[in-house]
Structure 1
Amino acid sequence: MTSEPGPTQDDLGARILLVTGPSGAGRSTAINALEDLGFEVIDNLPLSLLPRLLDGPTSGPLALGLDVRNRDFSTQALILAIDGLMQRMGRGAQVLFLEADDDTLIRRYSETRRHHPLAPAAPPLVGIAAEKALLAPIRARADVLLDTSDLSPHDLRGEIERIFATGDGKVLGVSVQSFSYKRGLPRGLDMVFDCRFLRNPHWDAALRARDGRDGAVAAYVAEDERFAPFLEQIKALIDLVLPAHKLEGRAHLAIGFGCTGGRHRSVAMAERLAAGLAQDGWHVSKRHRELERGDGMQAGDTRGQNA
């Protein structure tokens, strides 16, 4: 990689996005979505050819798909490539890292009947573990970390569009998520707020089977005298840090709200914050992890959940 400074994003409007992650995490879907957004896409480019590519003419944003199947892939080589891009392009270069949990990756390999590239003669989990170990230092360099475990291909395309669409001139997408602490924190969150101290609709039999998107549930949570100052201070904090993150060239910021069951208080808070940020003009997406999973709950079936 040449050490000479090249054109920056401010000079030419250039933008280079490295797309990587373990096999089966959705890299191909992400690459296709970026191509539809106007990125010039090159998949599995040998790292040794990257300097030559950068020395050529640049006409628009460029997305490079890289993974362990690259002919000359090594962790060290990819780290050097990332460092070289950052030195050359500054904020014009970013790394998108797609990941998924082991169970999801195994299921996807089972559905496609494919062998893992690092363990063609062994169970997929062997290759998955080896690949995650190889990519761990790259994951630590990611500007955007996107967990696709609970995303369909359609949902993943939507997330890519929300984060990287350039038509409105915004370079920072905000994801507001709700979750249950019983199932752990979602991966990739940048800021997390605990809602378990708020008034709990679970204890109202008329509200228990509903969720925080329901007007009655949201009103019940908002009646807690601590709700308004909690939301106000969080909103003030977000209003302070979002412009700074945008100025630093961040592409995505993920904000999480957690409660016990992930269905009532965290959902209500996420909905309120997302609405306020969207009203302010930010590019906002919402995810309610436990509602997407369904929890196997129908109306009137609480099965001991304490949201």
Structure 2
Amino acid sequence: MKFVIITGLSGAGKSQAMKCMEDLGFYCVDNLPPILIAKFAELCFSKRGEIQKIALVIDIRGGKFFDDLFESLDELTDKGYKYEILFLDASDQTLIKRFKETRRVHPLSSEGRIIDGINAERERLEYLKQRANKIIDTSNMTPAQLKEEIKEVYIEGSNNNIMISILSFGFKKGIPLDADLVFDVRFLPNPHYIPELKEFTGNDKCVSEYVMKWPESIEFVKKLNDLIDFLIPYYEREGKFQLVIAIGCTGGKHRSVTIANILYNYLKDKGQRVKINHRDESMS
């Protein structure tokens, strides 16, 4: 049985995620008091195959009941019920914009600033985020993109092979919230300062050749490949089904794109399930 707990920041897309899970055939329950999770799991597992996929949305709306969540999760583990945690996150700027657009009140800031509620919620959810099997940053996602991400994890990604997401980014736009591993390649020579290369990206041969002509670039790629090869089996052993590797440079246009492409091709050639996204490639 697939038993998924959906949680995360208010405004990050939990309701949309639940709709996606329903479309995928999950039996979904919204805002179940955490103290009832173990009893609900016992009921579902006793159905002997009648219910194969379950998703529960548990979040800060439970108020004081939310404090029972960690004890309930431990109870699930003690009773041998396997579960996964899907955590939805988004940047502060994105969350504030969404609350203002919908004119909703943040559950932890009914009489104060939205950002104060967001900060308080982040603090209360931090430990839960650390326990999550999958974190999705919805800051730049449309509902359709979120649905595709969830489909990839819970349908195509339902086997034992870990899905690896390679993400290039620019530090000036912030580190991706869902990154498991972050590598900083700002130590490499920057094509941005070469006039004939500035307007191209790491997807262009002239830029990638420039980035990779330096001995430190070649050595870094070798060590990066070795490290990822070393880590993947251990992530799989711990039950992680998606690994997000973020590679950043200043603008996210040249060096990070080049190195991300090389790592993507390396892992793809080795038969790994891998995808790539260049978050800030089009930035000036």
Normalised TM-score (structure 1): 0.81
Question: Structure 1 residues 15-24 or 215-224, which shifts more?
Answer: 215-224
Post-superposition Cα deviations, 1:55-97, rounded to whole Å, max 9, x if no partner, equal 222532322111122376323x01112222233346x322121
Post-superposition Cα deviations, 1:134-163, rounded to whole Å, max 9, x if no partner, equal 323322322223222222222222322333
Matching residue within 243, 246, 249 for 1:256: 246
Asked if 1:211 corresponds to 2:198, the answer is no
Matching residue within 178, 192, 200 for 2:182: 192
**Paired amino acid for 1:268:** T
Partner in structure 2 of residue 7 of structure 1: none
Cα distance in structure 2, aligned partners of 1:144 and 1:150: 17
Partner in structure 2 of residue 3 of structure 1: none
Cα distance in structure 1, aligned partners of 2:161 and 2:100: 37
Matching residue within 162, 174, 188 for 2:164: 174
The CA RMSD measured in Å over matched residues stands at: 2.4
Asked if 1:61 corresponds to 2:53, the answer is yes
Deviation at 1:121, TM superposition (A): 4.4
The answer to whether the Cα contact below 8 Å between 1:163 and 1:172 also exists between their aligned partners in 2 is no
The answer to whether the Cα contact below 8 Å between 1:46 and 1:72 also exists between their aligned partners in 2 is no
Asked if 1:221 corresponds to 2:208, the answer is no
- Relative distance call for 1:35 and 1:223 in structure 2 (3 A) is farther
Post-superposition Cα deviations, 1:284-305, rounded to whole Å, max 9, x if no partner, equal 23232323xx53x3xxxxxxxx
Partner in structure 1 of residue 14 of structure 2: 27
The answer to whether the Cα contact below 8 Å between 1:46 and 1:71 also exists between their aligned partners in 2 is no
Cα distance in structure 1, aligned partners of 2:277 and 2:58: 27
Partner in structure 1 of residue 37 of structure 2: 50
The answer to whether the Cα contact below 8 Å between 2:59 and 2:66 also exists between their aligned partners in 1 is no
The answer to whether the Cα contact below 8 Å between 2:7 and 2:87 also exists between their aligned partners in 1 is yes
The answer to whether the Cα contact below 8 Å between 1:40 and 1:62 also exists between their aligned partners in 2 is yes
**Paired amino acid for 1:70:** G
**Paired amino acid for 2:62:** N
- The aligned runs of 1:112-131 (5 Å cut-off) are 112-131=102-121
The answer to whether the Cα contact below 8 Å between 1:164 and 1:251 also exists between their aligned partners in 2 is no
- Relative distance call for 1:207 and 1:36 in structure 2 (3 A) is farther
Structure 1 residue matching 2:65: 3-state secondary structure? coil
Deviation at 1:117, TM superposition (A): 2.6
Unaligned runs of 5+ residues in structure 2 are: none
Cα distance in structure 1, aligned partners of 2:145 and 2:272: 20
Deviation at 1:113, TM superposition (A): 1.8
Partner in structure 1 of residue 274 of structure 2: 284
Task: Number of aligned residue pairs: give it.
Answer: 279
Asked if 1:87 corresponds to 2:78, the answer is yes
**Paired amino acid for 1:65:** V
Cα distance in structure 2, aligned partners of 1:39 and 1:278: 31
Deviation at 1:213, TM superposition (A): 1.7
Structure 1 residue matching 2:164: 3-state secondary structure? strand
Deviation at 1:171, TM superposition (A): 5.1
Asked if 1:134 corresponds to 2:135, the answer is no
- Relative distance call for 1:99 and 1:228 in structure 2 (3 A) is same
**Paired amino acid for 2:76:** L
Cα distance in structure 1, aligned partners of 2:14 and 2:246: 24
Post-superposition Cα deviations, 1:102-139, rounded to whole Å, max 9, x if no partner, equal 21111001111222233334443343233223323322
Partner in structure 2 of residue 143 of structure 1: 133
The answer to whether the Cα contact below 8 Å between 2:35 and 2:72 also exists between their aligned partners in 1 is no
The answer to whether the Cα contact below 8 Å between 1:162 and 1:285 also exists between their aligned partners in 2 is no
Cα distance in structure 2, aligned partners of 1:249 and 1:269: 27
**Paired amino acid for 2:125:** L
The answer to whether the Cα contact below 8 Å between 1:212 and 1:264 also exists between their aligned partners in 2 is yes
**Paired amino acid for 2:17:** A
- Relative distance call for 1:268 and 1:115 in structure 2 (3 A) is same
